[in-house]
Structures are given as C-alpha cells and as structure tokens.
Amino acid sequence: MTAALGLLVALSIPLDGVALTPHYEARAEGLTFDSLVDSAAAAGAPNLSVVVQWAQRDVHATDIAPDPVHTQNDEVVRRMIRRARARGMGVMLFPILWVERRGPGAWRGTLAPLDRSAWWASYSSFILHYARMAAEERVRVFSVGSELASMERDDGRWRALIGQVRAVFPGPLLYSANWDHYARTPFWDALDLVGITGYYRLADPGNHEPTLADMQARWALIREHLELWLERAGKRLVITELGYASLDGVASHPWDYTAGQQVDLEEQRLCFEAFASAWRGAESLAGVFFWNWWGPGGPTDTWYTPRGKPAEAVLRAWFAARRAGN
C-alpha cells in the first residue's frame, strides 16, 4: 500500500474513542494504566487518544522539557500504545503542553515567550520526540499541538514543523484548536484533519437543570456553524476533547472542573446525550474523543471520566452506532 493510499484509508475509518491521560496509578484501588486501557476496549472504544505532556515553567518561558510530575516515561507510553493495539484499538498520540505556574487567565492558550525563536526550537524538539515514537509504534494519527492560540499566528513556524513531522511520521496529522479560536488558525491546509476541543457552553450560567432539548438545540446550532466553516476549509473534523465532569452545573462551564462540588451524574449523561443526538449521522465528523477515561470513576466521582457512570452507556451506544454506519 502506498503512503497516499494508506492515508486515504486511515481517514475513511471513524476516529471515535476515549482520551487517556496517564496521570498516575493507584494500584490499591485498581487504577492502573493497563486496566484503564482494557476497560476502554471493553466499552467498545475503537480508538484511544494517548495524551502525553511536557512542561514549561510559565507563559513567558522558552524551555520545554519532561516534567517530573506530569510526564510519564517513554516506556509507559509505549506500553499503553501496544496494549491498546493488542486490544484492537487504533491510537492517536496527542502531545499537550503543561504550564506549571499560572496566574489568573494564564494557560497554554496565552503563551508569550520572551524569545519566540528559542521557544519554537524547544517546542519542535518536544513534538518531534513523540512523532518519532508515533512512527515506531505505528499509531494511527498524530497531533502537532493543542490549544496554543497565542502561538498560532506563527504560520511559517507551524508549516516548517508540520513538514518536519511528515518526514518522520507517515500517517494523518491534525492540530487541535480551542473551540473559540479555530477560525483564526492559518495553517489548516497543511494538515489532514481539523481538530477542535469541544468545551462549548450548553446552558446559561446558574442554570442547574438544563433540559435535554435545550442542550440539543445548542449543539445543533454549533454543528451548523462548524459544518459551514468546514465546507469552506475542505476538511473533516475531529473533536479531540469532549468532556463533562459529573458536577452539578457542568453544562454551563464544561471546561472548568473546579466550579462546583456536588455530584450530578445525570447532568453529565445529558450533556453527552445532547451531543450524540445532534451529531448522529454527520459525515463532516471524522471522529470524537471523549475526555477523559482516567480517574476513579463510579457514582461518587466528580471527575470527567464517564467510566462506571450512566454516561458510559451513552458512549457505548455512540460507538456501536458509528460502527454500524449510523
């Protein structure tokens, strides 16, 4: 199979799955990376997004390197990839940047390195490290970055990096823009897929009892706007992160897992159900990765994971329907 034909085949198969960030293991509670990969496969996830992180000190820093807390060693990452593939899942390798010290409003979307050239040299080393791993482990898709809104204007730098990655990794490439910034990303034509993190607000602030119909209507409008833009861009969409913590009020702030304390399993389920009903049958949607399979799970857990919660049934149904072509 030629590289071009292989790319077309890869893009024709749905890229649905769950994201898994290997934060840490709690073996006494049965929370291990192996068990998480196995349970994702058992839930019917066709693909696994393996999320890997390096860090920089703050938004002005220029040096990016493995972090002693947030970076898993390469052998752990490779083991997860191999286990997923052994369970019949495809893999997307998804590098993201961790900012260690963050003041109000500061995060990876607001980087302002003191020396942009030095930052780009360091960032390129980070991405190429994982691009080589992606090639060696034969992953399905590779991401060149996520949510770096303030750096996206460096069009030439991105195109040069994408070219370097293509020289290493033969599969499809994407970049993951923030949901409120994708239309300003200039280098989509250099990539195979558009990636977007999908933390759209589905309810007004203070509305702690949003209805399924209201959230479906919001997703329908979001889909309409996205599909009009995707048609102009000539690309298909991968929602690289779609997550809702199991917290009361999460529909109004899905990006903020700290804004609340009360467990609300039903609101989490309804958020996923609204997405599934609004996007069912959408040919523009190449795939969606539900965020995040890592976490304790179960009925008392407020974290993003749908594992062991009513929301898991929605994901299982989505995977089954997409496998059936619906």
Domain coordinates of the chain in residue numbers? Answer: 3-323
| Residue 104 buriedness (CB in 10 A; 0-12 / 13-18 / 19+) | exposed
Would you place residue 325 in the very low, low, confident or very high pLDDT band (cuts 50, 70, 90)? Answer: confident
Q: Mean pLDDT score of the chain, rounded to an integer? A: 94
Per-residue pLDDT for 261 more than 90? no
Would you place residue 4 in the very low, low, confident or very high pLDDT band (cuts 50, 70, 90)? Answer: very low
Once rounded to an integer, what is the mean pLDDT over residues 110-133? 98
Query: For 3-323, which CATH class?
Result: alpha beta
- Total-model pTM: 0.95
Considering the chain, what percentage of its residues have pLDDT values greater than 70?
A: 96
What pLDDT is stored for residue 7 in this prediction?
54
Once rounded to an integer, what is the mean pLDDT over residues 66-95? 97
Q: Which one, of 266, 283, 262, lies nearest residue 274 by Cα?
A: 266
Do the Cβ atoms of 201 and 252 come closer than 8 Å? yes
Would you place residue 196 in the very low, low, confident or very high pLDDT band (cuts 50, 70, 90)? Answer: very high
Instruction: State the Cα–Cα distance between residues 146 and 154, nearest whole angstrom.
Output: 14
Question: Which stretches within the chain are classed as H helix?
Answer: 3-12, 33-42, 74-86, 116-136, 155-166, 212-233, 265-279, 310-323
Instruction: State the Cα–Cα distance between residues 111 and 316, nearest whole angstrom.
Output: 37
* Residue 91 one-letter amino acid: V
What pLDDT is stored for residue 304 in this prediction?
97
Q: Which one, of 274, 216, 271, lies nearest residue 243 by Cα?
A: 271
What pLDDT is stored for residue 5 in this prediction?
40
Would you place residue 103 in the very low, low, confident or very high pLDDT band (cuts 50, 70, 90)? Answer: confident
What pLDDT is stored for residue 104 in this prediction?
86
Would you place residue 324 in the very low, low, confident or very high pLDDT band (cuts 50, 70, 90)? Answer: confident
Once rounded to an integer, what is the mean pLDDT over residues 12-23? 90
Per-residue pLDDT for 119 more than 60? yes
Instruction: State the Cα–Cα distance between residues 20 and 240, nearest whole angstrom.
Output: 11
Would you place residue 206 in the very low, low, confident or very high pLDDT band (cuts 50, 70, 90)? Answer: confident
Would you place residue 11 in the very low, low, confident or very high pLDDT band (cuts 50, 70, 90)? Answer: low
